[in-house]
Structure formats: structure tokens, C-alpha cells
Structure 1
Amino acid sequence: MSAEERRLDVLRAIVEDYVATQEPVGSRALVERHQLGVSSATIRNDMAALEDDGLIAQPHTSAGRVPTDKGYRLFVDRLSSVKALSGPERRAIETFLTGAVDVDDVVQRSVKVLAQLTNQVAIVQYPSLTRSTVRHVEVVALENARVLLVVITSSGRVEQRIVEIERTLGDDLLSDLRGRLVGATVGRRIPEASLRLAEVIDTFAPADRPIVTSVVTTLTHVFSNERSDERVAVGGTANLARFGGDFDGAIRPVLEALEEHVVLLKLLGEATIDPTVRIGTETGNDSLTGAAVVSSAYGSQDQVLATLGTLGPTRMDYPATMAAVGAVARYVGRILADG
């Protein structure tokens, strides 16, 4: 084993011990708790080298060392694998989420289960309508010259609108309108579907165009007005109290940051299907320099719907948190795809 590999092992041991104990880690503790295969003198030399590299630091006058943001970053980057969730944890996620009745319920349940699994603050972005495709469009004739318009998107969202029209819709026109709306929109992303709707009106006879225009206009409004990708659900803020001195007593700025949805969306960032970790200053928020955010997109590789994640102290169990965030994201994506 090279000196660099051994120092990475020492750094890994310091991170794991500090996360577990919240106490600065000394060389004696490393010798007692970890089978590093070298003398305490070698470990002290390795710790000195890690400190020179800015990967660990000595808080106050303590004899032990704690990881720096740079140290956590290297630890996360060198992770060979994340902790696998236990069977009961996986079953708990699946059972809890599969009981959801609609998209709002999926989001709220996701927030709750993620906060419980990680003991951190959970953040879930609602599925983005603009990134979704149209799964189904239905037009149902009602009494008194009205129709019911139903839209289902690939994100699982169901929208219903009642449209007032100038006269009762006949069966032939109803069937024709339904078929042309389906042909113009189903399987296409919302922005493209909106553009194609405008072309539908002129395909009908002049006498039918006022009715068609009313329906198409309402459908266009459904597509354009639902900015669900700007909505964020937050849960587990009470877990902040558990972190104690991890934020140097500055809990209020963290709470204030969590109240701003624009901040939350920036924290989640453009996450990928694989969990992304932002540590300290990487969050881009001065109020969260003592925090880390683990986020993941949900949906599929071909169609990302939105993001979810957790916020906790930089002194977090990164492998376990990444596993929980990744697992919940996969289940949410699967549920919405099957919905």
C-alpha cells in the first residue's frame, strides 16, 4: 500500500469516527478502533500530512482532528460504494410510497419517509410539467353545453377542467375532437404539445371552430399555467434540533433559507439520476456553510421529472444518506411511471 492510499484510509477512519462520535479524533483512537496495520507514530505522521493538505483540522486546543469540507469532499469522491439499505428499510419505502393516491400524496409521502430514513431535512420538488409528456387526453360531453376535459401527464398529474361551449357537442364531433387532440398531444412533451394544439383548430369546419377553440384554449392554459416545477415540499425541519453545534448555533439562518423555495430549488440543483453531494460552500449559500446537501433526480435516464434530496450537517453519514436518497428517488420514479 502506498503512502497516499494509507493516508486516504486514515482520512476515511477519521470521517467515520467523527460522524459517529461528534468528537475530534486522535491517533490513539484510530489505532484502537481501526486495523490500519501501521504504528501510532506513522498514523500521527499521516495526520500531519492530511492537515498540511487542508483535509483535516485541529479545532481549538483539542488533541484530535476533524475533517474539513475539503476532507469530506475527498472522502465522498473516493467512496467505492454506498451503504446498501436493509431489507426492512427497502420494504418500508416501497410499502409507504405505493399507498399514495396521487402525485401530491407521492410527494408528501416521499418527504416524510426520506426525513425518517436520514434524520435530516427532506426536500422534494414536485414533478415538472414542462418536462413531462402527455399520457392521455379525454373529452367527455356533459349536460347544458359543457364538456369535461381530462389531462394525464407522464408525471402522474391529473388535471380536469369543465369547458362552457356554445352548443351541445354531437357524438361525431366529440369523437373527432378527441381523436385530433390525442393525435396532436399524446406522447409529446408539454411545450411541443402546446404548439401543436394551435394547428388543430383550423382542421375543423368553420361552424365547429368556436367549440374547438374553447376546448383547445382551455387545454393550452392547463399546459402553460401549471408551474408545478416551482413547488417544493419540505419535511423533517425538527431534525435540525438534533444537529446542535453542527451549525455553530446558527439554526435560524438555516430555517430562513429553508423557507425560500427559490433557495431550495438552487440547493437541489440540476441533479442527475445518481446522487449528487454539495458540501459547505459548494451549496452556494452563506447561511449553509455548515451544511451538506445530497440530491438526486427522479424519473428516468430518458426523462427526468424533478429532484429530491436532504439537507444536514457536513458531519453526516454520507454513504447511508446517498443510499437513502437514491432509493427513494428510484421508487418515486417507478411509481410515477407506473401511474
Structure 2
Amino acid sequence: MVSERGLQVLRAIVQDYVETQEPVGSKSIVERHAFGVSAATIRNDMALLEDEELIAAPHTSSGRVPTDKGYRVFVNHLAQVRPLSTAQRSAIETFLADPADLDDLMARTVRVLTQLTGQVALAQYPSFARASITHLELVGLGPNRLLVVLVTDAGGVSQRIAVLPVDVDEADVAVLRARLSALITGRAVSDASERVALLRVPSEARPDPALTALAVVIGEELEEFRQEKLVMAGAATLARREQDFRGSIHPLLEAIEEQVTLLRLMSEMVPDEHGLAASIGTENAPFGLGEASIVASDYIAQGGTARLGVMGPTRMDYPSNLAAARAVARYLSRMLEEDETRR
């Protein structure tokens, strides 16, 4: 059992190691922190922390560094999420103001988050599975080419060029638009997908090859709406921070490229009562990311929640990164709520 002072010593070791990047010794703790006890007493506390596998010696020096278990105890019990400065909050508000659309808003969100933290920023898109189709548009681009535009009430927009097996004129396009709009407009994405699927196989009752081709394109786009999606920024920070990782950063780069692993990991993180979550070092080993930590915050969209956060080395400033994720998440939630109200 670690004493209360021992836990405060752990806090000091984590804070000093994150700041200095050097193993922390008892003498420096006495000099930098007001414990009111001798270096010998601090050494005894450090020995107990080491017995509990909360700190470790990276080499034969007297300094110690936090273990992944130590970081977990720090985050769970000792880390105080720091409020952002007025300048930081103003930067978030300015950077996210007046986005062109949802894609622009999400791209700005991860860019501002990586600027605040210096880490790789990740954000799940709001789920469109519960959204409804509000508009379908067909725009002629040529005799047999149409631009298909789908819009949902959650802000999702899809644009795709359909190449038809037959030529169509403006009157044909108007008929196709009317038939398809009547079929899916006002319907939930899942319902619309099922309805369009009925048109994807031509039959004697539906001999229109243009309608069948459009149904295939629209069905594929509706399936995209139902898929989880992740947007990221700041991958270059991994190269600049490579020395902070104990091993190779290649698994992290592969995860960024593939996205599926990161989506699973972020979805499985368990938030606290404030919607904040952290997954640290070896806790990520099942995902092949045992060298990294992820901290995240939930945000509210379309009556549900999604998650944004940052990924970096285990030696990260957890309180500051959690604060940045929370602040950006709150602002994003507010913007999405205001946009929903306007619609």
C-alpha cells in the first residue's frame, strides 16, 4: 500500500520527468517540491513506489521514471485537469468559427487540437447511422453523367459522379430525381439504404437501366454514411518526438494509415463521469500500440456521443492534453448543437 506522501512523490516524478525528459532523483524532488522531509525519506518513498512497480530505474543511476502503471495511477488519482488559458480558449473559438461544412469543421477540430498539444489529434465523425436524408439532387454533367448529391440532417454531405449505361436529357433527370427523392427523402439512412437496395437489381417491373445505375451509386453512398469515420492531423509530430518512444513508431504510423485499429481502440476506451478517458502504453498492446498513450474526451452530436483526443508517447503531459481535448470537445458539441437548431 502506497502512502499519501508516496503518491505525491509519484506526482512529482511524473511532472518532473515530463518536463525535463530526465530520470528524477530524490535530491531534485527535495529541491523542486516542498515536501518538508529529507532526501533520505524521499528515497524510502521512492523505494516503495518501485516495489509497487509504479516507477523504475532506466539504468544504474539514482534517477527513476514512471512506468505505464505509474502513469495510470497518476491519471486516475493524481492528475488535475488544468483549465486552458484565455488565449487558448480564444484560439479554439477563432479557429473553429464559421466552417464551410461538417468536413471543414472536423478538419479544423483536429488541426487546432494538434496545435494545442503537439500530439497527433484524432476525432471520430458524428454517427450518421441515425441521421435522415433531407435532400437528394441530380445534376447533369453530360449525356450519361450525373452528379449525385445526398444531404442528411446531421450535416453529412455526399457527392459522387454516376456514369449511366444510357444517355438522359433534362426531362429524364427530373423524373429520376422525383422518383428517388420520393423513395428516400425524410427516411433514416438505414431505411433509405434498404429501400434503394430494392432498385439495385433490374426486373421486368423496373426496366429502367438509369434508375438501376443510380440506385447502385446511392446505395454505396448510404453505406458510407453508416460507416465509422476518423479524421486526423499532426502525424508529422511522431517523427519529431521519435526519441520519446521506447521502441519503433512504425506501428503508430501503420495505425494512422489504416484507421480501423484506432477507431476500435477509441471506441473501447471507458470514459469517466466527465467524459474523459485515457489508454496508456501497455494497455494498448492488444491493438499493437503498446508504445503510445491516447487521451480523449466525448463530444455530443445528434443526441449521441463521439470522441476526440490525442495520441503520443506515454511521457506526455496528461493534465494539459486532457484539458485541451475537453475544451475542444465542448466547443465542438456547442457548434453542432447550434447547427442542428438552425436546421
- Matched residue, 1:296: 297
- Matched residue, 2:253: 255
Superposed, 1:67-82 pairs within 5 Å as: 67-79=66-78, 81-82=80-81
Alignment CA distance shift 1:322-1:212 (3 Å):
same
CA displacement at 1:299 relative to structure 2: 3.0
CA contact (8 A) 2:136 2:177 kept: no
- Matched residue, 1:309: 309
Q: Within 1, Cα distance between the matches of 2:291 and 2:176?
A: 62
Is the aligned partner of 1:110 residue 2:109?
A: yes
- Matched residue, 2:277: 276
Match for residue 266 of structure 1 among 264, 274, 290: 264
SS in structure 1 at match of 2:60: coil
CA displacement at 1:20 relative to structure 2: 0.8
Aligned length: 327
AA aligned to 1:308 is: L
AA aligned to 1:57 is: A
SS in structure 1 at match of 2:150: strand
Identity %: 46
| Structure 1: gaps (5+ residues) | 201-205
Q: Within 2, Cα distance between the matches of 1:243 and 1:161?
A: 39
Q: Within 2, Cα distance between the matches of 1:145 and 1:260?
A: 35
Q: Within 2, Cα distance between the matches of 1:284 and 1:109?
A: 30
Root mean square deviation of aligned Cα: 3.9
Superposed, 1:195-274 pairs within 5 Å as: 195=194, 219-226=218-225, 229-244=228-243, 246-248=244-246, 250-271=248-269, 274=275
AA aligned to 1:264 is: L
TM norm structure 1: 0.78
| Structure 2: gaps (5+ residues) | 200-204
- Matched residue, 1:95: 94
- Matched residue, 1:136: 134
Superposed, 1:6-85 pairs within 5 Å as: 6-79=5-78, 81-85=80-84
CA displacement at 1:318 relative to structure 2: 0.2
Q: Which deviations, in whole Å up to 9, do the C-alpha atoms of 1:105-125 show, x marking residues without a partner? A: 223222221111111122234
Q: Within 1, Cα distance between the matches of 2:326 and 2:309?
A: 9
Q: Which deviations, in whole Å up to 9, do the C-alpha atoms of 1:210-262 show, x marking residues without a partner? A: 99988877654431244652454342423532352x22363444434433322
CA displacement at 1:24 relative to structure 2: 1.1
TM norm structure 2: 0.77
AA aligned to 2:40 is: A
- Matched residue, 1:153: 152
- Matched residue, 2:202: none
SS in structure 2 at match of 1:85: coil
AA aligned to 2:20 is: T
CA displacement at 1:90 relative to structure 2: 1.2
